[in-house]
Amino acid sequence: MPSLVVVGGFFGDEGKGKIISYLAIKDNPTIAVRGGAGPNAGHTIEYENKKYKVRMLPSAFLNKNVRLLIGPGVVVSPEVLLKEIEEFEVSDRTFIDSQCGIIEESHRAADSQGRLKELIGSTGSGTGPANADRAMRTLKLAKDIDSLALYLEDVPNAVNFALERNEYVLVEGTQGTFLSLWHGTYPYVTSKDVTASGICSDIGLGPKNVTDVMVVFKSYVTRVGTGPLKSELSPEQTKIKGWQEVGTVTGRARRAAEFDFDLAKRAIMLNSATQIAITKLDVLYPECAHMNSFGDLSSPAKHFIKTIEDQLKVPVTIIGTGPDVNDIIDRR
Ligand code: GTP
Ligand code: IMP
Ligand code: MG
């Protein structure tokens, strides 16, 4: 399995960070490389009674053997990146591409007010305005920033060289398919394409060098910010179901709806998925919490997974049964 690309199938926050952490520990890739928009992403990872929140670094950082790379398509906040490098003690194995775009204070200011904040419900992280400047070809790049000099690397070269040596590369997507600038619910989307093709372009991985694409779905759909959400539940209904969640970056409440098979089918198509990961099965079926074996799941939980496989025609290889990295059923 030389390259595995992991992407979100709904509106982000599907639990990619936790799934990627598990894969990094279990599969021991040489490299984990992040594509996607920028520090608008937020992953929450729980492992051995500790809770980690990451916005810039690859979620694979828990495995100390893994080199952590960020591709040139990602815009970087030096402040957020340097803080995470220090906090997670990864300065010896973190590298960003010298062509990563740089988010500055002016981008955050533009993102925290007006149309972007009010109509789109942006995260205020400066990601969208920085990508707009990149398109205008005025954005600074990582190679222009002194404080990043130690961490510069030719990321596409490192990724492709590793694959040539038959080493395993784990590719981390952020956000989700329907937040894609091309394929999502425009204009209520992020500032990039975040489907598997976009993520691969971000890191310089050509289509013929992708071995597997894993699309991550939550057991129900959540969406933070504005934009359409079919069959959206009221906050009261969301609470009764136990589906209430709070965003990692903004602290906003996530809106919720039942699992949407039509959206999921389209996500499978757009990403050419070869595998599915389902997270939060324990939230739908509390009797399944912390289980590690498919055989132990209750009949309704098994039926839910089987319905997904029948409808989407792609195997569910990974199932999340709790927030901890080890709350996983691995059927690969
Ligand atoms: P983005 O890159 O911002 O799209 O985020 P993400 O996909 O990494 O997801 P995020 O961490 O923002 O949200 C997922 C939440 O669900 C986190 O709080 C996780 O700890 C939690 N979580 C992930 N998988 C499971 C699971 O199987 N069961 C339960 N109960 N919680 C889970
Ligand atoms: P922006 O990417 O900060 O401009 O935000 C645009 C829209 O995408 C808003 O609705 C955000 O809430 C949403 N969004 C951006 N990144 C993420 C993410 O990582 N998880 C969930 N929603 C996101
Ligand atoms: Mg998130």
CATH of the domain at 89: 3.40.440.10
Neighbours of 271 (CB within 10 A): 26
Nearest ligand 1 atom, CA 176? 4
In this prediction, residue 196 has a pLDDT band, given cuts at 50, 70 and 90, of very high
Distance 49 CA to ligand 2 centre (A): 28
If one counts the domains in the chain, the total is 1
* Cis omega (within 30 of 0) for bond into 207: no
- Kindly report the backbone phi and psi dihedral angles of residue 283, in degrees, each rounded to the nearest multiple of 5, phi listed first: -75, -35
> Do you know the residue count of the chain?
332
For 136, the domain range is 3-330
The sign of the dihedral angle between the CA atoms of 92, 94, 100, 103 is negative
User: Mean pLDDT in the chain?
Assistant: 97
Distance 328 CA to ligand 3 centre (A): 19
Q: Is the pLDDT of residue 1 over 70?
A: no
Q: What is the dihedral of CA 318, 319, 325, 327, to 10 degrees?
A: -140
Ligand nearest to the CA of 44: 1
Give the residue among 279, 271, 69 at the shortest CA–CA distance from 180.
271
Any residues with CB less than 8 A from the CB of 92 and at least 6 apart, and which? none
Q: Please compute the mean of the pLDDT values over residues 123-149 and round it to a whole number.
A: 98
Residue with CA at minimum distance from ligand 1 atom 15: 15
- How confident is the model at residue 251, as a pLDDT? 85
DSSP, collapsed to helix, strand or coil, labels residue 25 as: helix
Give the residue among 251, 256, 260, 224 at the shortest CA–CA distance from 237.
256
Q: Is the pLDDT of residue 222 over 90?
A: yes
Give the residue among 76, 17, 19, 75 at the shortest CA–CA distance from 43.
17
pLDDT digits (tens, 9 = 90+) for 3-39: 999 999 999 999 999 999 999 999 999 999 999 999 9
pLDDT digits (tens, 9 = 90+) for 71-105: 999 999 999 999 999 999 999 999 999 999 999 99
Q: Which of 27, 43, 154, 296 is catalytic?
A: 43
Q: Is the pLDDT of residue 238 over 70?
A: yes
- How confident is the model at residue 250, as a pLDDT? 82
Amino acid identity, position 119: L
